[in-house]
Amino acid sequence: MVKARGFGYIEIVIVVAVVAVAGFLLMKYFTSTATTVEKLQHDRPLARTKLAADQATLTSVQGLVRSYQAEKGQFPPDKAAVVGLLASPPRFQCPGNDFEYDPATGTLGLAINDDSRC
């Protein structure tokens, strides 16, 4: 009677194949995760959200300017008068952002319109 010791070639090949498949799947997972992180950093959805919030703030201030114009028959004379319509100065999400005011037309605009700067 022959005693079998150790692993045979078939068992070793099967183990190597399983390890290779597992390694391949792990490599694909980490590669796709890295790609997803790069895409998220590239798309900067948080920055776009901040810019959208700033635009919404500006839209509400624009509504106050229109109400002022409807009540007084003219637009506020300057930016300080627009800020005076508010309970507190507008707080923008993008650092360094502020609004610009054109008293001739009563239009407001953001100083930063580029979401990559947020």
Query: Which residue range(s) make up the domain with 12?
Result: 1-43
Same domain, yes or no, for 56 and 107? yes
The pLDDT of 26-30, averaged and rounded, is 87
Q: Same domain for 64 and 21?
A: no
Count: domains in the chain: 2
Q: Which residues of 80-101 are buried (b: 16+ CB within 10 A; e: fewer)?
A: eebeeeeeeebebbbeebebeb
One domain for residues 68 and 26: no
Say if residue 19's pLDDT is above 90: yes
- The pLDDT assigned to 30 comes to 82
At 88 the pLDDT is 87
1 pLDDT above the threshold of 60: no
